[in-house]
Amino acid sequence: MRTGLVLLALILLPTFAPGAAHAAPRASEPVYDYAKAVRETVWVDIGRDGDGDGRADRVAADIVRPSEPTSRVPVIMDASPYYSCCGRGNESELKSYDGAGKPVKFPLFYDNYFVPRGYAVVLVDLAGTNRSAGCADVGGASDVGSARKVVDWLNGRATGYSAKTGGSAVTASWSTGNVGMIGKSYDGTIANGVAATGVAGLKTIVPIAAISSWYDYYRSDGATFGFNPDGLARTVEARNGGQNCTAQNQALAAGATANGDYGPLWADRDYVTRAGNVRASVLLSHGVNDLNVKTIHFGQWWNALNVEKKIWLAQTGHVDPFDYRRADWVDLLHRWFDHYLLGIDNGVQNGPQASVERQPDQWADQSAYPAAGAIATTLRPGPSGTLGTAPTSGTASFTDNPSLGEDTWVTNPGSAALSYSTGALTSDVQVSGTTSVTVTATPGTSSARVSALLVDLGPATIRNFAGSGEGIKTGTTENCWGSSTSGDDACYRITSADVKKVSYTILSRGWADLANYASLAQERPLTPGTAYTMTFRLASTDHIVPRGHALALIIGGTDGSFIRGPAQPGRVTLDLARTSASVPIAGVVPAATTHPALDTSAFVPSAGRADLR
């Protein structure tokens, strides 16, 4: 018997990689048996009755954790509305259960890889989705509370049960209380929202292509993208019968006013304003060509955070780094969670703050984001089509045509947009951060939109972010990341870069309703013939415009690729002396240039759109 106990101790002791005698552990090791892991569901009371059935809503937390006798373990959590309706990851994996309702399939590789290394993985169904009671509220108190209350339960501050209704109380006696939240898109958004509550026990978050303010997902400085949160709520609730979410969905529809104003519904879902509450470290990833969760989301969130943080910026669209830089990403996640959840001093928090994809599969580390040396530089459009730092004068006009979009504006703008260019640059210029554009515009009608683009004019090979894979191609062979069971394998199809040659690159975009010139909270009527000054944001980025290329600023009315047009599209005149762009630039842009008219004959359109998943 004594020999057996010694053998068991030898099996369980090396939870971390062994080093020299008495050396501190440097990495967790896969010493736990994944096949024997505990798989269970706990329903956590979130203290709300979102579906109005007279009972407090309980959300389902599916758990997989080591079964061996051990000390308590930390938790990696992914809270999502998509576990039954839409799927997670590049292969759209769904949860599955056995005949008794015990969880079998945990989407993504987190359980396969981390449970053998001494972690629990908890996948939470947001209220109103899959096996949870209640209703989804698209980033509001119900969604965020669904995950926060599970963090509380893992720390002994909330009540969990063995069933959706009734059942017995269950405690998380196996949990250290240290939680790291991770997820892409909606899931990463919930991680942002929970972190913004300042909840104790949440040690780190890994938001991937995540929303930081739901207003900026559905609206942009007063302009509207043409879709609303109640539609998303109905989509994620569709697979969860039995609850009545009519009232909640009507509240979403009513709160998301059609005019694009920033009101109470959006304020409740604006995590940026509460970023000061964040205590967790942040490992952030985003595609700089994400036309779904647009890049303003990572830029404003990043700038508002005052915690330990790192960032990856890819050339992709709405894609998880597991599917464009897999081995490096898994290694980084391993070290990140080891450090912040297990307390291993592995130095992951040190070194370069940012890693940026400059060309497909070619990455460069930089000490900071925005790049060190990037300075807000005022660029001014000139009446002859120039763009530089010198003051200008004069006026220029465009006629709003909502049927045209950004690629036409670059290749053949006609009268629908105004194009200004630096001419060929004599040295590289890096645009790193968030640009803002100020216009002084005189509308010819009582309603007007204003949109702007920053464009790198010159040939390049980029990821085909407008393609079906948003910059990746999915192969047929697989590689494996962790342990497998018959119901939950750790193997995923290998991806590669989908590349495309282009003659220009749109590196930043922004849109506004001129009627919100004085306030985003309330639009004001416009008087034709009266000049209005408005500043609006372009999307955050990190992009190098090479020597020999030109940097262009294009200003027009309704960018039909993205926003809805005004009630009365018309002619808009810009006062060039009071129109400019504040661009975060490392490098030198000429004060003014004289260059021939831009030849757009060889330019090929390259944009596209995606959905939230």
Has residue 529 been placed in a domain? yes
Domain assignment present for residue 539? The answer is yes
- Predicted pLDDT at 17: 37
In angstroms, the Cα distances linking 90 to 87, 121, 206, 513, 526 are 9, 20, 18, 36, 46
CA–CA gap between residue 600 and residue 503 (Å, rounded): 9
Instruction: Give the model's pLDDT for residue 71.
Output: 83
CB atoms within 10 A of CB 500: 17
Nearest to 436 by CA among 558, 576, 299, 263: 299
- Does the pLDDT at position 16 exceed 90? no
Give the pLDDT band (50/70/90) at residue 11.
Answer: very low
Query: pLDDT tens, 179-203?
Result: 999 999 999 999 999 999 999 999 9
SS3 326: helix
- At residue 527, the pLDDT reads 98
**Angle formed by the axes of helices 246-255 and 229-237, to 10°?**
160
Q: Is residue 405 part of a domain?
A: yes
The answer to whether residue 72 is domain-embedded is no
State the average pLDDT over residues 591-612: 51
In this prediction, residues 207-228 reach a mean pLDDT of 97
Residue that is written with structure tokens 């090791």 in the block: 29
Residue 447 maps to which CATH number?
2.60.120.260
Which pLDDT band, with edges at 50, 70 and 90, does 604 fall under? low
Average pLDDT of the chain? 92
Average pLDDT over residues 115-132: 97
Residue 214 corresponds to which amino acid?
W
Q: How are beta strands 395-399 and 449-463 bridged, if at all?
A: unpaired
Residue 328, C-beta contacts closer than 8 angstroms, at least 6 positions apart: none
> CA of 215: how far to CAs of 218, 225, 298, in Å?
5, 11, 14
pLDDT tens digits for 286-320? 999 999 999 999 999 999 999 999 999 999 999 99
pLDDT digits (tens, 9 = 90+) for 319-349: 999 999 999 999 999 999 999 999 999 999 9
Q: Are strands 375-381 and 580-586 parallel, antiparallel or unpaired?
A: antiparallel
Domain region containing 551: 375-464+502-586
Specify the pLDDT at position 20.
35
pLDDT value at residue 593: 58
**Residue 245 above 80 pLDDT?**
yes
* pLDDT of 427 above 90: yes
Q: Please compute, for residue 116, the number of CA atoms within 13 A of its CA located in the half-sphere on the CB side.
A: 16
In order of 160, 328, 456, 539, the CA distances from 543 in angstroms are 47, 22, 9, 12
**Is residue 78 in some structural domain?**
no
Over residues 136-149, the mean pLDDT reads 97
Note the pLDDT of residue 590: 79
**pLDDT given for residue 125 in this prediction:** 98
Reduced to 3 states (helix: H, G, I; strand: E, B; else coil), residue 345 is: coil
Amino acid letter, residue 219: R
183 Cβ contact list (under 8 Å, min separation 6):
78, 79, 80, 189, 190, 191, 206, 207, 208, 210
**Residue 446 located in a structural domain:** yes
Task: Indicate if the pLDDT at residue 130 is higher than 60.
Answer: yes
Residue 508 lies in a domain: yes
Q: Could you tell me if residue 533 is inside a domain?
A: yes
Catalytic residues: 185, 290, 318
What's the CA gap between 516 and 260, in Å, rounded?
Answer: 9
The three-class DSSP label of residue 334 is helix
Average pLDDT of the residues in 58-70: 94
pLDDT digits (tens, 9 = 90+) for 452-464: 999 999 999 999 9
> For the chain, how many structural domains are there in total?
1
386-409 pLDDT, tens digit each: 999 999 999 999 999 999 999 999
